[in-house]
Structures are given as structure tokens and as C-alpha cells.
Amino acid sequence: MLKTVAALVLPEVSPFEFGTICEVFGIDRTEDGVPPFELRVCGPVAGEPLRSTVGVEIVPTHGLDGLAGADLVAVSATRMREFPEPVLDAVRAAAASGSTMLSVCSGSFVLGAAGLLDGRRCTTHWMNADELRSKNPLAQVDPDVLFVDDGNIVTSAGTAAGIDACLHVVRRELGNAVVNAIARRMVVPPQRDGGQRQFVEQPVPVCRADGLAPVLDWVLENLQIEHSVSDLARRARMSDRSFARRFVAETGTTPHKWLTLQRVLRAQRLLEDTDLGVDDVAERSGFGSGALLRHHFRKVVGVAPADYRRTFTARTALAGF
């Protein structure tokens, strides 16, 4: 259960990356059905101001002892690369006691210096990937993903990817309803395309113009039927070529990839919320056959539909939803 979050900030902290942690875990959204979180802002010394990368100071309310007993320790980005031993000891102790460790952007260097990334798959900002690999030769650094979930170690890429990782942890521990409530208030999609192991609710299409939004809304309501680019282009009153070009510009992906992702996300909801068999889930989500569903589901989510159902059902029951 995710109740207590300790945000670790160090000198040369990046306010935006720190802010992503605060935005997800530090705002009371109980009126929206989000369980309350206790957020502890922890630094080397409680009450001692820490310089940031933009000239302002951040004052932690807790010292390193605030990491003890936290369900989640979220390490914010920092320009530091050499860390005091008491900081690393506190990080190691939190991990050893069972806390999930989350790093945002260059916060991964703290986890690496503590020895927590050895033999583990991880990521960081793409500009820092080679440096992280050099400092942690035993780590499996993947610079091509938004975040990596390696069990009790979750690492994110740069800046906005910290939002993706924080929401993923919420989704993993507390389920669809909670992460969607938070994402809706933040005016961000619960998931961005680009990761294969993001267990998320179906996102609202994000378009910069009104032209495609009605078409995408209609598709989401009719995922069970076949959709060709030509059919969608006619509905949008565009030529096939113009529609395909506009689609990529507005959504960041192709119609085929977008439609496949939406069908996988619909299948996730059906697996979580119903007792339908895999073939029925496949039909209602638009894949047509259980074999095709299994192929795309494993490719996007990283596990088979049956394994996903078992895992998420257990988490949902544990979270009380």
C-alpha cells in the first residue's frame, strides 16, 4: 500500500523535477477519491536551505531519518555527482527495509552511487545516459524509454518523464481510478506512448486542434469494429495522405499504432473489471481473436493477459478498490 512518500532533495536540486513529485504525491485530492499521501521532504539536514539550479532555495522539513519507514523514496534530480556517505547510507537502508525507490531524471546517480543499480535495468535523461553507464558499469542503462520499472527500483528519464514514472507507481500500487483522478487534475494523459510496461487507464486523446478530436472520440467508442485509414480520413473529411500527416502531427504516432494502443488499454480495463474470457476480451477490444490480443498485449504491456489479470486483481484487492 502506498501511503508515505519521502522526497529526497540534495544541493543543486532541479525545481521542476522536484515539483513533479510534489504534484503527484503532495496535493490533497481526497475529494476526487485519491487516498491521502504523507509527503516528507527530506534533505541532509532538516531546515537547512538547499540551493537549486535556478537560484531559489528549497528547505527540507525532514532530515535523512525521514526516509525510514517510507513506502516510496523519490529521489529528485540534482547536478551533484558525488554524494555524502550519510546520504547513501540512508538510501541503502531505505531500500533494504522494503521501500520502493524512485529516481527522477539525474536522481538515478544517487541510486547508482548507493549501489542499488548494479545488475538492474534503469534509465535517466538521455544526455546523462553515457555518464550513468560509465559510473555504474554493472547497471543496464536503457536511454530509449520514459521510465523503467524493475520491481522495487523505478527510474525515469528527464523532466516530464518524472510525471510518467510517478503516475506509473500510483497506477501500479493503487489502480486505474486513482491514477486517472490525479492525471485529470494535472491535465496530463495517464500514459504517453513510448513505454512497454506502463499499466495505465485509457488516456484521453490529446490534440492541439479540434479537427481530429471528434474522430478519435468516435473511434474510442467503437474500438470493436474495423477501422482503416481511409475510413477515418473520410470521417475527418480529409484525403488519406492529409489525414495520416495530420494524425502524426497531432498525436505523435501513426493511426495504426494509436489504434493498437487504445485496444490494448481497453483490454486492460476489461481484464481488470470483468470476468470475461480472453477471447471475449479480444472481441470487445477489437482484436478479433485471443491470439492477436496476446501478441499485441505482450508487446505493449510486457506480460500475457492472464498474468496481467492475476497481478492487477491482487493489487486492486489489496488497495481496497
Write the DSSP assignment of 190-209 as a string of letters. Answer: S--TT-SS---PPPPP--SS
Q: In Å, what is the CA distance from 300 to each residue of 164, 230, 261, 269, 278?
A: 16, 25, 7, 14, 16
Residues 120 and 237 in one domain: no
125-139, 179-193, 205-219: least confidently modelled range: 205-219
102 and 23 belong to one structural domain:
yes
Quick one: pLDDT at residue 313? 64
- Residue 105 bears catalytic tag: yes
**pLDDT for position 136:** 98
Query: Residue 191 falls within a domain, yes or no?
Result: no
pLDDT band (50, 70, 90) for residue 66? very high
| Residue 245, domain extent | 202-321
Do 39 and 91 share a domain, yes or no?
yes
| Residues in Cβ contact with 87 at an 8 Å cutoff, skipping those fewer than 6 apart | 8, 10, 44, 64, 110
Identify the residue with better confidence: 213 or 19: 19
- Residue 192 within any structural domain of the chain: no
Q: How much is the pTM?
A: 0.63
Strand partners, 167: none
Evaluate whether residue 252 is within a structural domain.
yes
Asked whether residue 27 falls in the same domain as residue 167, the answer is yes
Q: What percent of the chain has pLDDT over 90?
A: 63
* Residues 105, 158 contacting (CB under 8 angstroms): yes
> CA gyration radius for the chain?
21
- The answer to whether the Cα torsion of 153, 48, 78, 76 is positive or negative is positive
pLDDT of residue 4: 98
Average pLDDT, the chain: 88
Q: How far apart (Å, rounded) are the C-alpha atoms in residues 235 and 229?
A: 10
Q: What is the CATH number of the domain that holds 24?
A: 3.40.50.880
175 and 242, same domain (yes or no): no
Average of per-residue pLDDT across 208-227 = 80
What is the rounded CA–CA span in Å between residue 268 and residue 175? 11
Q: What proportion of the chain, given as a percentage, has pLDDT over 70? A: 90
Q: What is the mean pLDDT of residues 196-207?
A: 39
Number of structural domains (the chain) is: 2
Measured CA distances, 144 to 123, 147, 211, 282 (Å): 8, 9, 31, 30
294-321: average pLDDT: 71
Question: What's the pLDDT score for residue 110?
Answer: 98
Q: Are residues 302 and 181 in the same domain?
A: no
209 has a pLDDT exceeding 50? no
Name the residue among 43, 35, 89 with its Cα closest to residue 66. 43
Of 186, 212, 228, the residue at which a domain comes to its end is: 186
237 with 316, same domain: the answer is yes
Kindly state the cell numbers that stand for 167: 503516475
Domain boundary among 138, 153, 186: 186
75 backbone dihedrals φ, ψ, rounded to 5° = -95, 115
The arrangement of strands across the sheet holding 38-42 comes to 38-42, 4-8, 72-75, 100-103, 153-156, 147-150
Per residue in 137-156, is it b (16+ CB within 10 Å) or e — as a string? Answer: eebebeeebbbbbbeebbbb
Averaged pLDDT for residues 213-241? 89
pLDDT score, position 53: 95
Is residue 113 assigned to a domain?
yes
Residue 314 lies in a domain: yes
Same domain, 8 and 136: yes
**Domain shared by 152 and 128, yes or no:** yes
Distance between start and end Cα atoms, the chain: 12
Q: Is residue 195 part of a domain?
A: no
In a domain, 240, yes or no: yes
- Give residue 195's pLDDT band: very low, low, confident or very high (50, 70, 90): very low
Report if residue 193 sits inside a domain.
Answer: no
For position 27, what pLDDT does the model report?
96
- 301 shares a domain with 235: yes
Q: Is the pLDDT of residue 210 over 70?
A: no
Residue in 42, 105, 122, 166 annotated catalytic: 105
Please answer whether residues 109 and 139 qualify as being in contact, where contact means their C-beta atoms are separated by less than 8 angstroms. Answer: no
Answer yes or no: do 274 and 233 share one domain: yes
Residue 206 has pLDDT above 60, yes or no: no
Q: For residue 213, what pLDDT is reported?
A: 79
